[in-house]
Chains A and B, each alone.
Chain A
């Protein structure tokens, strides 16, 4: 069980139509992550709104401190 899988599952639940959904443990320490999401549901939203959707999906691990640092790359449907 890596630290990446639970985050992927949360994102997959929030973005069921995602064409790209990637979570990378940037440091191997299990708390610095790089997330990439491409989804039609993000189309037309500002970057702030797109990132908010990702934060909402990961609200649990953000609040309990299991995500120490999060880098986000979002795109509307490619």
Chain B
């Protein structure tokens, strides 16, 4: 069993995808929280996936992205990085610039946070 297609659907379909440990309501890792909070401060509507729901999710995700650690942030299908990069981009102002250029100037107009569960979808 593999989640590859479901993960790709999220990466390609969500404006901002955050693969994290836990959910925004119950974050299970400090680095996942750092990424989530930086994205929220930038006004991004984040679609989150809990990789702890099944160890296979993380394995398939890293095979797709070539990125070994969690969290992983994607904007319009492109890997932006993990918590360190997202925070660094926030500090330099590039996070908002990236969101604006990829999603349009009004990307933060309506905050719409979503959580997608991959388990049961396969």
Whether A and B are associated in the same complex: the answer reads: yes
Distance of A46 from chain B, by nearest CB (Å):
9
Flag B49-86 by CB within 8 Å of A: 1 or 0 each: 00000000000000000111100000000011111110
Cβ of B88 within 8 Å of any chain A Cβ, yes or no, is yes
Q: How many residues of A contact B (CB 8 A)?
A: 13
Cα-based distance from A56 to B9 in the complex (angstroms): 27
Neighbour of B88 across the interface among A47, A52, A55, A63, CB < 8 A: A47
- Chain B residue, CB-CB nearest to A35: B84
Cβ of B31 within 8 Å of any chain A Cβ, yes or no, is yes
Neighbour of A47 across the interface among B31, B68, B89, CB < 8 A: B89
Cα-based distance from A55 to B67 in the complex (angstroms): 8
Chain B: interface size category: 10 to 19
For the residues of A in contact with B, the DSSP-based class is helix
Cross-chain contact B80 with A48 (CB below 8 angstroms): yes
Cα-based distance from A73 to B80 in the complex (angstroms): 15
- Chain A residue, CB-CB nearest to B94: A47
- Chain B residue, CB-CB nearest to A71: B84
Cα-based distance from A52 to B62 in the complex (angstroms): 12
Interface residues of chain B, those whose CB is within 8 Å of chain A, are: 31, 66-69, 79-85, 88-89
